[in-house]
Amino acid sequence: MPKQKSKFVCQDCGYESQKWMGRCPGCGEWNTLVEEIEAPADSSGAKRSFQQSGEASKKPEPITKVAGEKEPRIDTSLPELNRVLGGGIVPGSLVLVGGDPGIGKSTLLLQLTSVLAEQNHSVLYISGEESVKQTKLRADRLGVHADTLFVFAETDMDLIDQAIHQIQPTMVVIDSIQTVHQSSISSAPGSVSQVRETTSAFMKIAKSRGIAVFIVGHVTKQGAIAGPKMLEHMVDSVLYFEGEQHHTYRILRAVKNRFGSTNEIGIFEMKEMGLKEVKNPSEIFLEERTQGSAGSIVVASLEGTRPVLVEIQALIAPSSFSNPKRTATGVDHNRIALLMAVLEKRLGMLLQNQDAYMNVAGGVKLDEPAIDLGLAVCIASSFRNHATNPADVVVGEVGLTGEIRRVARVEDRIYEAAKLGFERAVVPQKNLEGWTYPENIEVVGVSTLEEALEVCLEHSTLQW
């Protein structure tokens, strides 16, 4: 028998070493290298051919001769999930779902399997962390009752493959990939080798049999999916379920999607009977807004194709330290420093001795430049202690010279604001051409930051 060899593999990044080290050279983390037994290589030295592998008809061919077949997507009956997936579930796709413990990953997927089972699709839910009875208790709480939904509590990859071959489902859910193991690999479940090999096996099942496979992945302390980065490269889509356990709202975001856009988000609310879709998230984010307060403005952001109106808050206060604080939640910290420098240089506001605290209400993360004008108005409003008009919504990118630059899809943003009852929208002057404004909202174009502040703080007696 060949002599068994061992290697040390980092459980975070997959770095391999012949000896143990306290700190991984690949990712810099401490105490992440774990010993794993290498599988013996095939010493026969035989080379395979198409005829020997039983795939004589399988050979390279020109792409122009490949028959293009467009398979219809599977409608999940959940518009929020359909939007994130790019229009529905693609047969034969491999989707990775990650998120913090207790955020609702298993609940979302169990509800998804219930919807598909009610559409007469055969669905297999494989749980490696719960028994069949525990899954049944959660299904009863969510009102899941369908004869074509099969539950299987197993972690052995060979037995899972047999169950999939026996049932031939339309969709398979693996909860979670860190519990599944290959018997031919000696390392423990959840190790880099096990996660890599089992994910590869599920990828072959999805592609060869046309079965949509959803995989639940654990996350690390930093919020990334546990295991090697190769795991995210192997799958077709990577979805993150975000939110805080003490709040009821959850955001489903795609960070990789081979079959659709990665800019879309889906918003859900956690109820006693499971997750409920939020049809109009703008109303949710604005329902607790305080009227007539300084340092607050509503911006029209864009998440993929969906316009979302959120409130931005700023608190500017004199600093008691030599280095003023710059704290931002939900927006880029560097963008705040840039806008404060523009306000100080172009408009003469003395902000270098002021602490700045920025917050996006509702826990939303905004990263597009169209919110620059809202951030600048918030800072100026709080610094001058002058309230903004609660019926205003602003959108625009701010340049280093103080100019207001055009933004994309301004029509969708303004129509969303008009639908929610806002009376005036402040937009870049260049965005006023080529479209028809809604009748119930006034659209004001501005070219510079000074003009924008005069409009948004028009009742102020201060000179800019």
Instruction: Write the secondary structure of 323-356 as one string of H (helix), E (strand) and C (coil).
Output: CCCEEEECCCHHHHHHHHHHHHHHHCCCCCCEEE
CATH number at residue 340: 3.30.230.10
């523009």: which residue's tokens? 342
Question: What's the angle, vertex CA 355, arms to CA 352 and CA 358, rounded to 5?
Answer: 115
- C-alpha to C-alpha distance for 79 and 281, rounded to whole angstroms: 13
- Looking at the structure, do residues 165 and 25 belong to the same domain, yes or no? no
- Looking at the structure, do residues 19 and 84 belong to the same domain, yes or no? no
pLDDT at 288: 77
Which own/partner contact pairs does 416-420 have at CB distance under 8 Å and 24+ positions apart?
A: 416/282, 416/300, 416/307, 416/308, 416/309, 417/298, 417/300, 417/309, 417/393, 417/441, 420/282, 420/283, 420/286, 420/309
What is the SS3 assignment for 231?
helix
pLDDT in tens, 348-374: 999 999 999 999 987 788 989 999 999
Average pLDDT over residues 297-322: 90
- Looking at the structure, do residues 275 and 323 belong to the same domain, yes or no? no
Most confident of 218-227, 286-295, 332-341: 332-341
Name the pLDDT band for 120 (thresholds 50, 70, 90).
very high
């969709």: which residue's tokens? 171
pLDDT at 36: 80
- Looking at the structure, do residues 367 and 420 belong to the same domain, yes or no? yes
Most confident of 23-37, 157-171, 299-313: 157-171
- Looking at the structure, do residues 266 and 245 belong to the same domain, yes or no? yes
pLDDT at 431: 94
- Asked if the peptide bond before residue 193 counts as cis, ω within 30 degrees of 0, the response is no
Binding residues for ATP: 99-106
- C-alpha to C-alpha distance for 430 and 5, rounded to whole angstroms: 67
Question: What's the angle, vertex CA 231, arms to CA 170 and CA 125, rounded to 5?
Answer: 30
Give the residue, 463 or 28, on which the prediction is more confident.
Answer: 28
pLDDT at 351: 93
pLDDT at 55: 52
- Looking at the structure, do residues 257 and 352 belong to the same domain, yes or no? no
* H helical segments located in 3-96: 79-85
Q: How many domains does the chain have?
A: 3
- Looking at the structure, do residues 99 and 163 belong to the same domain, yes or no? yes
- Position 309 in a domain: yes
Indicate if the pLDDT at residue 445 is higher than 70.
yes
Binding residues: 99-106
Query: Average pLDDT, whole number, for the chain?
Result: 87
Indicate if the pLDDT at residue 464 is higher than 80.
no
- Which residue segment(s) compose the domain that 186 sits in? 73-279
Contact (CB, 8 A) for 417 and 309: yes
- Looking at the structure, do residues 150 and 198 belong to the same domain, yes or no? yes
- Looking at the structure, do residues 292 and 270 belong to the same domain, yes or no? no
- Looking at the structure, do residues 123 and 146 belong to the same domain, yes or no? yes
What is the SS3 assignment for 428?
strand
Name the pLDDT band for 461 (thresholds 50, 70, 90).
very low
- Position 362 in a domain: yes
pLDDT in tens, 241-256: 887 656 788 889 898 9
pLDDT at 344: 94
- % of the chain surpassing 90 pLDDT: 54
- Looking at the structure, do residues 300 and 271 belong to the same domain, yes or no? no
pLDDT at 250: 87
- Position 348 in a domain: yes
Q: Largest Cα–Cα distance of the chain, in whole Å?
A: 90
Which own/partner contact pairs does 158-161 have at CB distance under 8 Å and 24+ positions apart?
A: 158/182, 158/183, 160/126, 161/201, 161/205
- Position 24 in a domain: yes
- Looking at the structure, do residues 106 and 197 belong to the same domain, yes or no? yes
pLDDT in tens, 62-100: 988 887 767 789 999 999 999 999 999 999 999 999 988
Last residue of a domain, one of 279, 311, 338: 279
Average pLDDT over residues 372-394: 94
- C-alpha to C-alpha distance for 388 and 409, rounded to whole angstroms: 25
Indicate if the pLDDT at residue 428 is higher than 90.
yes
pLDDT at 463: 42
Q: Which residues contact 271 (CB under 8 A, 6 or more apart)?
A: 248
- Position 81 in a domain: yes
- Position 236 in a domain: yes
Last residue of a domain, one of 279, 313, 328: 279
